Amino acid sequence: LFSWLKDGIDVKNNIDYRQDYINGVASLVIEETFIEDTATYTVRATNAGGVAESSAKLTVKSRSAVSSLLEEEKPRFMKQLTNVQVTEGQTAHLDCVVIGRPEPEVVGCSDIFVDGCFM
């Protein structure tokens, strides 16, 4: 069982917040953020063995400075790749979240490792 809290108060599924649990990943999605969404969010996992929690601060900045939105920003990882272990035949998911301005392009890679990329 998973539950989400915003500054210690239960978050319910509604037009503003959507809770998902897909392929072992618990997510709280805020489709359109506002300054009022700035808070500490906590996910709480509960089972017969007990309770575990993880928290993170979400900061929503004002978009009043349009010029700052146009500045270039080097790519940075908001979520790093993590080690994955699967049994042969299972699907493996390697996920990361990267932001930057302009938005970084996705480059497909396969078979041969060349210049930091499998070709």
Report pLDDT digits (tens) over 5-61.
Answer: 999 999 988 888 999 888 888 899 998 898 899 999 999 999 999 999 999 999 888
Q: How far, rounded to the nearest angstrom, does the alpha carbon of residue 90 sit from its chain's CA centroid?
A: 23
Structure tokens at 4: 């989400």
pTM above 0.85, yes or no: no
Residues 40, 7 contacting (CB under 8 angstroms) = yes
Residues 62, 75 contacting (CB under 8 angstroms) = no
Please tell me the distance from the alpha carbon of residue 43 to that of residue 86, in angstroms, as a whole number: 25
Is the pLDDT at 75 greater than 60? The verdict is: yes
| Predicted local distance difference test score (pLDDT) of residue 41 | 95
Second CATH level (architecture) for the domain 2-118: Sandwich (2.60)
Residues 118, 98 contacting (CB under 8 angstroms) = no
Q: Return the domain boundaries, the chain.
A: 2-118
| Predicted local distance difference test score (pLDDT) of residue 64 | 65
